[in-house]
Amino acid sequence: MSSVNAVYRKSVAERFLYAFLFEVLGITISAPLGAWVFNHSLFSMGVVTVVIALMALLLNMFYNTVFDFYLLRKGYTKTKKIRVCHAIGFEITLFLMTIPFIAWYLGVSIWEAIVLDIVFILFYLPYTYLFNLCYDIVRSKIVKV
């Protein structure tokens, strides 16, 4: 098996571990940063980041199911263009879902919630890249391919 194929061959347990580590580390970093930048309590920002992570998880399952069903029904394959549309659609949907929660829970205006959400997105873009890079490096040292 080539090393490229081995990257995609992960057990359910490993996929769970990956997702768990990703979320725990992301929340551990983003909640204190958000509390500091937006002058809210660490507890409040912790709740916000945990709820957003849960929303993302649930949306991911639902969105991907609907998206895959649509592709299957239309006979489309997952080209680069479709994958980009999928990613943009998911992020926009999550963004629109989280804004009302953030505004309500933190007692801020919709505009403030939008700004906070954009800052979280700007944090998670490089975080996701760096986490995946580090995870793959560590994994390659643990799992011999």
15-38 tens-digit pLDDT: 888 888 988 999 999 999 999 999
Instruction: Give the model's pLDDT for residue 4.
Output: 46
CB-count burial class (<10 Å; 0-12, 13-18, 19+) for 59: middle
Q: Which residues contact 109 (CB under 8 A, 6 or more apart)?
A: 103
Instruction: Give the model's pLDDT for residue 115.
Output: 96
Question: Does residue 118 surpass a pLDDT of 80?
Answer: yes
Q: Which residues contact 46 (CB under 8 A, 6 or more apart)?
A: 27, 31, 35
pTM: 0.78
Instruction: Give the model's pLDDT for residue 119.
Output: 93
Residues 30, 124 contacting (CB under 8 angstroms)? yes
